[in-house]
Amino acid sequence: MLTSLFTGVSGLNANMTALSVIGNNIANMNTVGFKASRVSFADILSQSITGVSGTSQIGLGVTLSAVTPLFNQGTFETTSSGLDLAIDGDGFFILRDSSGALFYSRAGQFNIDKDGYIVNPEGYIVRGYQADSSGNITGTLGDLKVSFASVPPKATTTVSLVGNLDSDAEIKGFVFTTGTDEDIYVSFDGGTTYTTVDLISDGGLISGKAYTGSAVASAIKTALEAKNGSSDTYTVTYDGSTGKFTITNDSGNSNTVVIAWTNANSTAASKLGFTADDTITVGSSATSDQAGGAFDVNNPDGTSNFSTSITVYDSLGNAHEIAIYFRKDSTGSSGNTWEWFAVVDGSDNANSSSDQIQAQGTLTFNASGALVSESSITYPTGGFDFSGGATQNQQISFNFGTSTTEGGTGTDGITQYGQTSAITNQEQDGYAAGTLQKISIDSDGVVTGVFSNGKTKALGQVALAKFQNPSGLTQMGNNLFSESTASGQPLVGSPGTSGRGTIHSNALELSTVDIAEEFVKMISAQRGFQANSRIITTTDEILNELVNLKR
């Protein structure tokens, strides 16, 4: 009879333990990453009674078999912090305390401490795979440190431009200098008496100033009529699309004109494009072969057709703006040729206080307007020499064809169509030094830094540990577990590999406690406790009756 008392006591103890587990579950209903536990009971069988029908077994009550955490997947709560992480699937975050001991957790409420490490609220450091200086993830497992990361500067090595150069642009860049190339040697009577016609003093041009072909044509007309000594007039035109000058001895004039272009006195011949002497009878014309303008760095706008600018970076990460000028140089039945010049301002030039051409080349287009060839780049000063103490003779490649710079679009480069000159896209591969502005973490756990210079770089990768028997882990409090013999050793790897879950940033895994289920279990445990208490009171009453038999 006393056995029933102890059986009832075991029931009371078991159900009280169940209520304790239920209470713990409910208390942690709002604990991030918490896994609800369940109680397993087992009966106690140790008493046998022998009767006429054989041996009978009588149980001695109930015992607590196990309290097992259930590692079900919890739902996710969206948060505003990119360092809030949730695991979708199997696995645990790996954390290290100050003594070096390792712990495991599903709670992903992380932040950055004063030393730049990613830590949990208790200050335990998150473990993961390290990244090298180039942002490549290595296989080395260590503490994840991010806040002091930086990106060193990169000097520009390649510039790519996409756009169009107007095929109808006039060939520009006619500069005549006193005592050098301003004279034409002319006979106004068709004889052997020649006169020097000066485009500057007679034609009104200003020495060293850049002119269009049309302006030069007007100056040639003015100079010829000023020197001819008669009332003869001339018509001089310039065809900007072909780069050719035409001189006409107007009808009604009285004399044939002979221009000795090949004579040394005709210093302007090569610039105007005339290569052979011309005898121009009244009413007839002479046309040059191809005028030869030139780019003048001191008058870039007057000697070029189009310009753009782009910011590049030196070896120290300092930004420098260079101007790129385009000048139509020649035309032909098979296509046109343009020159380009990269100019550094004198205020940013380590070599000189004057503007300098520090890179130049030519572009050849076919009759369809497509770029068919780029000349080798010439560096008149040996390369780019920026001020500020950076490496001198910096070699920058200019690509006008397919874009190949970092992050390039891969589209066709410069074209030459009958449209307004314009640059539609330009790229360069250099950048200044950058400091960390923010971080993001992707589904593979890769921690990526976004830097002040616009660049991104991998800083590390969160590692996950997987256990053969996660229910065998030892609970250490503070949402932490530790390895045990029952759990087996941790299998560490990258998220999303070998059955490990993936990472959700800006999210937290909520507790797996189901309030409705816990209340039902609470009622069941309460009824179990009450029922076992009745066993004790009933047995007590029977014992009392047994004692009263003596009366």
The span from the CA of 241 to the CA of 335, in Å, is 11
The pLDDT value recorded for residue 412 is: 63
The pLDDT value recorded for residue 411 is: 45
Yes or no: say if 271 and 211 are a contact pair by the CB < 8 Å rule.
no
Residues 6+ apart with CB under 8 A from 544: none
The span from the CA of 396 to the CA of 358, in Å, is 10
Query: Is the whole model's pTM more than 0.95, yes or no?
Result: no
The span from the CA of 511 to the CA of 115, in Å, is 31
Q: Which of 224, 222, 203, 215 is nearest to 173 (CA)?
A: 215
Q: Which of 311, 302, 306 is nearest to 363 (CA)?
A: 306
Q: Please tell me what DSSP assigns to residue 154.
A: B
Yes or no: say if 328 and 305 are a contact pair by the CB < 8 Å rule.
yes
The pLDDT value recorded for residue 52 is: 65
The pLDDT value recorded for residue 51 is: 63
User: Could you list the pLDDT tens digit for every one of the 551 residues in the chain?
Assistant: 677 778 888 888 888 989 999 999 999 999 999 999 999 888 887 666 666 666 667 777 888 888 889 999 999 999 999 999 999 999 999 999 999 999 999 999 999 999 999 999 999 999 999 998 888 999 899 999 987 778 889 999 999 999 999 998 888 788 899 999 999 999 999 998 999 999 999 999 999 888 888 899 999 999 999 999 899 999 999 987 777 899 999 999 999 999 999 999 999 998 899 999 999 999 999 999 877 778 888 889 888 999 999 999 999 999 999 999 999 988 777 788 999 999 999 999 988 889 999 999 999 999 889 999 899 999 999 999 999 889 999 999 999 984 344 443 334 689 999 999 999 999 999 999 998 888 999 999 999 999 988 888 999 999 999 999 999 999 999 999 999 999 999 999 999 999 999 999 999 999 999 999 999 999 988 898 888 888 888 887 888 878 888 76
CA atoms lying within 13 Å on the CB side of residue 542: 11
User: What domains can be seen in the chain, in order of their start residue?
Assistant: 2-67+516-548 (no CATH), 76-148+438-509 (no CATH), 158-168+305-428 (2.60.98), 172-287 (no CATH)
Helix (H) or strand (E) holding 183: strand 183-187
| Residue whose pair of structure tokens reads 């100019």 in the numeric block | 343
The pLDDT value recorded for residue 105 is: 96
Yes or no: say if 509 and 76 are a contact pair by the CB < 8 Å rule.
yes
For 315-377, the DSSP string reads TT--EEEEEEEEEEEE--TT--EEEEEEEE-GGGBSS-SS-EEEEEEEEEE-TTSBEEEEPPP
Yes or no: say if 170 and 214 are a contact pair by the CB < 8 Å rule.
yes
The span from the CA of 462 to the CA of 445, in Å, is 5
The pLDDT value recorded for residue 408 is: 39
CA 16 → CA 9, 19, 50, 300, 522, distances in Å? 10, 5, 34, 93, 10
Strands 356-365 and 371-374: antiparallel
Percent helix, percent strand, percent coil in the chain, to nearest 5: 15, 40, 45
Give per-residue pLDDT as tens, 451-475.
Answer: 988 888 999 999 999 999 999 999 9
Query: Strand, coil or helix: what is 257?
Result: strand
Q: How many residues appear in the chain?
A: 551
